[in-house]
Amino acid sequence: MFDLGDYYLLSHLRMEGKYFLKTAKDPKEKHEHVIITFEDDTDLRYHDTRKFGRMILTPKEKLMELDAMKKQGIEANSEELTKEYLYQKIHSKSLPIKTILLDQTILSGLGNIYANEVLFSAKINPFKKGKDITLEECERIKLCSKQILEEAIKSGGTTIRSYTSSLGVTGKFQNHLNVHKRENENCFLCQSNIKNEKIGGRSTYYCPKCQK
């Protein structure tokens, strides 16, 4: 969300969108579709090879009328997130906790990679049903979400797709992943083999021993 005074510009990167800081003199690259030039001739350039990204410009007073905003749950790394909120949202559901964590109307900001990592850190089996998750486990989900997202942001995010490195910018958090994309490798805590199974159609990596 960009605060533009009377307006917000909302930008969703979808799969491939990225922002780069450049100067106004730098040549325009093929996939730079939006360029914001600042008074000091710095450019913020929106780069999107597949054009899946979306932008919405909205007057501030209309922000909460947008469908995209109405449906957003509490941000996974925000101070507002409490174990009671999670428990209340989760405890009536019979879906696996992994699927629930990806529901952006409950918790906003956890994608597949981070949901896998949060459940490993919280030592919760991804197949466990929402209704079997305890208040104490909700507290662990809350703490681990905050910690993992903050570390990931500090590392510049997680870059899995290889071609992004050709753009000269990659996140570093992929070097800190404990389970995601580590199928058949040893768990860092117990040396068991990491498993990969689909839950709700999404690849779910977990340690069967640490996440009972």
Closest approach of Zn ion to the CB of residue 185, in Å: 11
144 vs 210, beta carbon nearer Zn ion: 210
For residue 185, state whether it binds Zn ion (rule: CB under 5 A): no
The alpha carbons of the chain give a radius of gyration, in whole angstroms, of 19
11 vs 125, beta carbon nearer Zn ion: 125
- Kindly indicate which of the ranges 23-31, 82-90, 168-176, 190-198 contains the residues binding Zn ion, using the contact rule CB under 5 A: 190-198
Q: Which residue is nearest to Zn ion (CB)?
A: 187
36 vs 189, beta carbon nearer Zn ion: 189
Residues contacting Zn ion: total by CB under 5 A = 7
Closest approach of Zn ion to the CB of residue 203, in Å: 18
**CA-to-CA distance for 43 and 24, rounded, in angstroms?**
5
For residue 209, state whether it binds Zn ion (rule: CB under 5 A): yes
Closest approach of Zn ion to the CB of residue 33, in Å: 43
8 vs 120, beta carbon nearer Zn ion: 120
For residue 189, state whether it binds Zn ion (rule: CB under 5 A): yes
Question: Residue from 187, 199, 204, 205 that binds Zn ion (CB under 5 A)?
Answer: 187
57 vs 189, beta carbon nearer Zn ion: 189
Question: Residue from 118, 133, 138, 207 that binds Zn ion (CB under 5 A)?
Answer: 207
In this structure, the chain runs to a length of 212
Q: Do residues 118 and 101 lie in contact, with contact meaning Cβ atoms separated by under 8 Å?
A: yes
**CA-to-CA distance for 117 and 206, rounded, in angstroms?**
8
122 vs 187, beta carbon nearer Zn ion: 187
Closest approach of Zn ion to the CB of residue 2, in Å: 41
Q: Which residues bind Zn ion (CB under 5 A)?
A: 187, 189-190, 192, 207, 209-210
